Structure 1
Amino acid sequence: MERARPGPVLVANRGEVAVRIVRACRELGLRSIVVHTDVDAGALPTRVADTTVCVPSYLDVDAVVGAALAHGARAVHPGYGLLAEDAGFARAVTDAGLVFVGPPAEVVAAMGDKVRARALARESAVPVLDGTEEAVDAAPAGDAAARIGFPLLVKAAHGGGGRGMRVVASADELPGALAAAGREAAAAFGRGEVFLERHIARARHVEVQILADHHGAVAVLGDRDCTVQRRHQKLLEEAPAPDLPDAVRTELHEASRRLATAVGYRGAGTVEFLLDRDTGGPAFLEMNTRLQVEHGVTEMVTGVDLVVAQLRIAAGEPLGEVLGGSILDGRVVVRGHAVQARIAAEDPWEGFRPAPGQVTALTLPSGPWVRCDLGVEAGDAVPGAYDSLLGKVHAWGPDRATACARLSAALDDLVLTGVPTTAPYLRAVLDRPDHAAMEHDTGSVERDWAPDATARPTPTRREPATTRAVHLATDRGPLALRVPRHRAGATGAAAEAPRPERRGPATGSTPTGDPVAPMDATVVEVVVAPGDDVDAGAVLVVLEAMKMELPVRASRATRVDAVHVAPGDRVTAGSALVAVTAAVPEP
């Protein structure tokens, strides 16, 4: 996509970000080509694109690059998630003679390797937390953990977005955390390496937005606060970061500029930091070599369309031309305050249970200070195969209090039925005095901000009388959900297992103790084998749904008679997973 000769752009993503990129292409007069899987056939991105191409998987590099070549694309925009931070994908795009809308593959590789990124940050005089200098496994991890001290974090060495992370409070928890984090990282990013890093118990999450061109220029477009999060998944974001001392803000901006310059960055990127609530000191977290989900709040306070800027930079335009009137005295102007709420198909009142289904009705809030970026419309399916994010609602105001008030009103006006969403919970968070006073930290949602049972919205659809309650623990907290009492179909090995009608207590298993799938999911691990004796609470099978792992545990001491599933099987709610009998006490 040369500057003087713009051409079609292939969008290698799905959901709301794909819609966002298509609209930016339209603004620039560029034809858009959107790839999709069979699951997403007919989804909103395919309805707004100029051309659509079906591929086997969004992670199939050959298929995506092949689609770009076959349909005359000149450039490929990766969005965020999926292949956005895959250096191999970036390299395959450029090797095919196409423009990758992002930094060079070697920069994606350097920043995507979190251990290497820490070293590069340190070399650029960016403060870094104590941690391991290489990926670890179970053998050397114990010594490293003893040196770093507890609590600590096990973190995926590749990828981001909070995937593949576990807080470890003691040495006893370390082996399980290493296994779980590695498994989740492998599933999300294709690589299971992990490393250790000191955990800040009370932290703020602050990040800096940068833009860089092909000519060596780097601009800082302010900062954002992403402290409201659950299990490292952001829920509310705002710009600029409130209640941040000027000296700290300047330090973060300059550190981000140094790092971007040192690695030869190009395009839009974000340098993320944690601020210790107790000491006030900042520490490098990671650099995301892509557009962020929360980019909209920066756009609202700077007037810079970051997706258009990405495309113009990829076409070779210098940063000064891209930013134009947004720069005053050499600095990007920040006006007012903006706040964003992530709208996900999850039920906060059931442990943020992911909730695939269908959007039966949708009315978006409107107004001069409100923006909605959604990837669905009424009637659209919310598949269980992908992330639960439906989109975002933003609001701008001359100050933080006004922006939050406008976002609260917008969330009140949002009508989305058919699946539960995070909207009513986030509306309640905005009303919290500790949120208004900026007294919260990254652990507040899990520690202090449990959903108020009296504020639970009225269900938008009735549960059939054939369901029963199930309570289970997951890698991201407890879930309370409902599963069918009757036999449900399944695919793969699970389809062959007999499933008589089950009626029993709220334990996630049948009266005889046979555990069932609490929801439609994929089997990622089978922990037990026929003949095993297991204790109450032991993990039998690990499922994954909408990027969340769900360990299914024994309700009591049992013996495993048979295993009905294997890794990779798709199961539906109510499917039998293993057959067990109650353990007979020894005489």
Structure 2
Amino acid sequence: MINRILVANRAEIASRVFRTARKLGIETVAVHSDADADLPFVAEADHAVRLPGNAPADTYLRSALVIEAAKVAGADAIHPGYGFLSENADFARAVEAAGLTWIGPAPESIEKMGSKIEAKKIMASAGVPVLEAPASPAESDLPLLVKASAGGGGRGMRIVRTLDALEAEVAAAEAEAKSAFGDGTVFVEPYVEAGRHVEVQVVGDGAGNVAVFGERDCSVQRRHQKVVEESPAPLLPDSVRSALHEAARNAAAAIDYRGAGTVEFLYDAASERFWFLEMNTRLQVEHPVTELVHGVDLVELQVAVAENGVGALGGVSTGSTSVDGHAIEVRLYAEDPTADYQPQSGTLTALEFSGDARIDAGYTSGSEVSTFYDAMLAKVIVHAPTRDAAIRRLSSVLRTARIHGLVTNREQLIGILGSDAFRSGEVTTSLLAKEAFLSTTEDPGAPVAAAIALAERTRRPGIPVAWRNVPNQPQRTVFEDGSEDGIVVEWRGTRDGYVIEGQAVEGFEVVSATGDGSGRDTVVLEKDGLRTGYTVSIDGASVDVDSAFGHTALKRRPRFTDPALQTQPGSLLAPMPGSVISVLAEIDQDVTEGQPLLVLEAMKMQHTVTAPTDGVLTQINVKPGDQVAADEVLAVVESVESVVEPVETTKEETA
């Protein structure tokens, strides 16, 4: 019997395991880095142990430190979650050697599947179809995919479309894999352009008994990282579905698999063929959709197998369990899809959801999102009788959520769910490469509501704000939009309320403006007979506006600008806090627009900073290994036009 579980992980997956542990009457222990000390999962645990430091290599990836924390806390079992040490065979062995229960597969199984190269050999021997790469690729073999052997999540993965780019892409993949997983081994396989990512959930007991809990479609991906997952997979012929389940069962049985795992396949709908990709010897991020449609708690099954040992399932389920309705999960990331998915960090001032949904979140309102870990904030999951009903319900939950303080992919998720491509079920892994699904819809009423809410904050009770007996110029509130003029809202305060002026906001009438004392103001506007309510949250110069039209983040422009805050033209600013990996150019070097100049690493991803224009690199302020803050000046490129060539003159001309 397990009495106290330590979760060797963080954020939402730690909270998820704690939830099942509490249901089973098992005490919980959290481990946390310094950056994570105030996150919800730490407070949710019965006990917590600090792992000094912030970087994964100093904290969650130090197996000896985690095991010592378990001993200090009196834990008798360790659950690894996903990522970090979850698929580290040496860690699993060390846990068992310490006399603790390992809630995961046997170390030997982890080892066999840990190398994608070796895993393919085992699967081929078990009769599971695999993709084979040519020993000497030719033009006819393109495109190719370079993949990290030891990891996943899109890191260490590159698509190669020309043979002359193969060597460079392999080197880049090796570097990223080494940074992310400590192992730079990569391999090459054919890249299926219009493939679907379909995976099968299995639970084994180490004695050959394997229960199959259906499949998930995880084809909607960015940078080979899953964004939307659903179960069951749409538009999958019954014959293919059965064959996938059987292949997954054979794959798990081939290594006497114990515990929960996922066998991932690449499926080509045109030919109805599929191939083994990899086996994840752990709980998947997207496991909630399986739990909802199959009515099962996969963490509870993990604990049961760990407690009861080999043969725990006893052949209870050797076929697919029944499916109830449809479930869809989206991953909400702190990232900007309009800026090449640049990760965001800082204070998440609001994270609130309404509606019928399961929210597995690692953060809450007021949480600080650091640069040290993955940018996922929460998983939003819905379950409905049909796929169409699930899509509509999930879209509504996302639209009505209050998410403030950081840029997220929320609008992109709504765009994906509402697209014809997704609604038809005909999605592939290249969907987001073809279309970003970025909403360009702007709500002209949002700046008006924001300006009125700001005005209300300065008004004395019973007195119209800015009211004068003799009206003069209207009041002006300006919000930043990247342009010189900004978004200008002109308004007057009268005995009868506010009057909105200006062409940009013409036609709006202020029906009412009230505050609830909690920092939120409600402004009701009317235009062309349509009345709309806006909820406005103000935090210094930042103003967030939520309405039926969606969310608008605004920043109020100060009336006076401090010259000291101005940056030199051509300055390259750090897009996010992070560390400098490499500097690719030298001072006084001629550079061209788009040329890579520096590489930063943040949230386990590398980001290239490029030259904004043709010119000369006149200044470099950083070196490899430096930690930089957001908006810090990294370098300066003077454009060709601004570089004045000296004019040679003769002595006679200067006399």
TM-score range, shorter chain: 0.7 to 0.9
User: Distance in 2 between the 1:111 and 1:258 partners?
Assistant: 14
| Structure 2 equivalent of residue 17 of structure 1 | 13
For the pair shown, which has the larger CA radius of gyration, 1 or 2?
2
Measured after TM superposition, the shift of residue 214 of structure 1 is 3.6
Report the secondary structure of 1:528's partner residue: coil
Measured after TM superposition, the shift of residue 152 of structure 1 is 0.7
Measured after TM superposition, the shift of residue 560 of structure 1 is 5.3
**2:628 is the alignment partner of 1:571:** yes
Query: For 1:441-473, what per-residue CA distance to the aligned partner results, in whole angstroms no more than 9, with x for missing partners?
Result: 1111221243121168979999x989969xxxx
User: Distance in 2 between the 1:570 and 1:227 partners?
Assistant: 35
| Structure 2 equivalent of residue 450 of structure 1 | 437
Measured after TM superposition, the shift of residue 525 of structure 1 is 2.1
| Structure 1 equivalent of residue 72 of structure 2 | 70
User: Distance in 1 between the 2:319 and 2:125 partners?
Assistant: 27
**2:29 is the alignment partner of 1:33:** yes
**2:288 is the alignment partner of 1:296:** yes
| Structure 1 equivalent of residue 101 of structure 2 | 99
Measured after TM superposition, the shift of residue 243 of structure 1 is 1.0
User: Distance in 2 between the 1:461 and 1:283 partners?
Assistant: 53
Range that drifts further, 384-393 or 346-355: 346-355
Measured after TM superposition, the shift of residue 116 of structure 1 is 0.8
| Equivalent of 2:341 in 352, 377, 381 | 352
| Structure 1 equivalent of residue 204 of structure 2 | 212
| Equivalent of 1:114 in 91, 113, 116 | 116
User: Distance in 2 between the 1:373 and 1:305 partners?
Assistant: 14
For the 8 Å contact 1:214–1:316, the answer to whether it is kept is no
Range that drifts further, 274-283 or 73-82: 274-283
Instruction: Give the letter aligned to residue 131 of structure 1.
Output: A
Query: For 1:327-354, what per-residue CA distance to the aligned partner results, in whole angstroms no more than 9, with x for missing partners?
Result: 6x96422211111111111233433321
**2:315 is the alignment partner of 1:333:** no
Equivalences for residues 267-346 of structure 1 within 5 A: 267-316=259-308, 331-346=320-335
User: Distance in 2 between the 1:319 and 1:15 partners?
Assistant: 32
User: Distance in 1 between the 2:235 and 2:394 partners?
Assistant: 19
| Equivalent of 2:611 in 533, 554, 576 | 554
User: Distance in 2 between the 1:330 and 1:31 partners?
Assistant: 33
User: Distance in 2 between the 1:554 and 1:402 partners?
Assistant: 47
Report the secondary structure of 2:137's partner residue: helix
| Equivalent of 1:423 in 395, 410, 424 | 410
| Structure 2 equivalent of residue 250 of structure 1 | 242
Report the secondary structure of 1:234's partner residue: strand
User: Distance in 1 between the 2:412 and 2:613 partners?
Assistant: 34
| Structure 2 equivalent of residue 408 of structure 1 | 395
User: Distance in 2 between the 1:366 and 1:322 partners?
Assistant: 40
User: Distance in 2 between the 1:225 and 1:586 partners?
Assistant: 63
| Equivalent of 1:372 in 351, 359, 365 | 359
User: Distance in 1 between the 2:442 and 2:421 partners?
Assistant: 18
| Structure 2 equivalent of residue 525 of structure 1 | 582
The 3 A distance-change label for structure 1 pair 519 and 406 is: same
For the 8 Å contact 1:525–1:541, the answer to whether it is kept is yes
The 3 A distance-change label for structure 1 pair 466 and 400 is: closer
| Structure 1 equivalent of residue 165 of structure 2 | 173
Equivalences for residues 136-147 of structure 1 within 5 A: 144-146=136-138
The 3 A distance-change label for structure 1 pair 514 and 425 is: closer
Measured after TM superposition, the shift of residue 400 of structure 1 is 1.2
The 3 A distance-change label for structure 1 pair 237 and 97 is: same
User: Distance in 2 between the 1:343 and 1:210 partners?
Assistant: 26
Instruction: Give the letter aligned to residue 623 of structure 2.
Output: A
User: Distance in 2 between the 1:379 and 1:337 partners?
Assistant: 33
User: Distance in 1 between the 2:95 and 2:307 partners?
Assistant: 15
User: Distance in 1 between the 2:408 and 2:480 partners?
Assistant: 23
Measured after TM superposition, the shift of residue 425 of structure 1 is 2.0
For the 8 Å contact 2:415–2:437, the answer to whether it is kept is no
RMSD of aligned alpha carbons = 3.2
Instruction: Give the letter aligned to residue 348 of structure 1.
Output: P
Measured after TM superposition, the shift of residue 423 of structure 1 is 2.4
User: Distance in 2 between the 1:309 and 1:52 partners?
Assistant: 25
Measured after TM superposition, the shift of residue 241 of structure 1 is 0.8
Structure 2 gap segments, 5+ residues each? 53-58, 452-477, 484-553, 558-562, 648-655
User: Distance in 2 between the 1:108 and 1:517 partners?
Assistant: 39
User: Distance in 1 between the 2:325 and 2:637 partners?
Assistant: 60
Query: For 1:285-337, what per-residue CA distance to the aligned partner results, in whole angstroms no more than 9, with x for missing partners?
Result: 1111111111000000111100111111111257776997xx6x964222111
| Structure 1 equivalent of residue 459 of structure 2 | none
Report the secondary structure of 1:395's partner residue: strand
| Structure 1 equivalent of residue 425 of structure 2 | 438
User: Distance in 2 between the 1:575 and 1:467 partners?
Assistant: 21
| Structure 1 equivalent of residue 370 of structure 2 | 383
Instruction: Give the letter aligned to residue 334 of structure 1.
Output: V
For the 8 Å contact 2:416–2:437, the answer to whether it is kept is no
For the 8 Å contact 2:204–2:313, the answer to whether it is kept is no
For the 8 Å contact 1:157–1:195, the answer to whether it is kept is yes
| Equivalent of 1:88 in 87, 90, 93 | 90
TM-score of the two chains, using structure 2 as the length reference: 0.76
For the 8 Å contact 2:235–2:426, the answer to whether it is kept is no
TM-score of the two chains, using structure 1 as the length reference: 0.84
For the 8 Å contact 2:212–2:319, the answer to whether it is kept is no
Report the secondary structure of 1:187's partner residue: helix
Identity level (%): 43
For the 8 Å contact 1:32–1:49, the answer to whether it is kept is yes
The 3 A distance-change label for structure 1 pair 556 and 417 is: closer
Instruction: Give the letter aligned to residue 157 of structure 1.
Output: S
For the 8 Å contact 2:195–2:269, the answer to whether it is kept is yes
Measured after TM superposition, the shift of residue 120 of structure 1 is 1.1
Range that drifts further, 31-40 or 391-400: 391-400
For the 8 Å contact 1:15–1:375, the answer to whether it is kept is yes
Report the secondary structure of 1:279's partner residue: coil
Report the secondary structure of 1:227's partner residue: strand
Measured after TM superposition, the shift of residue 147 of structure 1 is 7.7
The 3 A distance-change label for structure 1 pair 376 and 274 is: same
The 3 A distance-change label for structure 1 pair 89 and 566 is: farther
User: Distance in 1 between the 2:432 and 2:245 partners?
Assistant: 28
Equivalent residue pairs, number: 537
Report the secondary structure of 2:364's partner residue: coil
User: Distance in 1 between the 2:168 and 2:440 partners?
Assistant: 32
Query: For 1:374-395, what per-residue CA distance to the aligned partner results, in whole angstroms no more than 9, with x for missing partners?
Result: 1111111111211111111111
| Equivalent of 2:252 in 257, 260, 277 | 260
Measured after TM superposition, the shift of residue 182 of structure 1 is 1.6
The 3 A distance-change label for structure 1 pair 537 and 407 is: closer
Instruction: Give the letter aligned to residue 573 of structure 1.
Output: A
Query: For 1:478-529, what per-residue CA distance to the aligned partner results, in whole angstroms no more than 9, with x for missing partners?
Result: xxxx99x9xxxxxxxxxxxxx98654xxxxxx53x45332221221222335
The 3 A distance-change label for structure 1 pair 148 and 208 is: farther
Range that drifts further, 88-97 or 47-56: 88-97
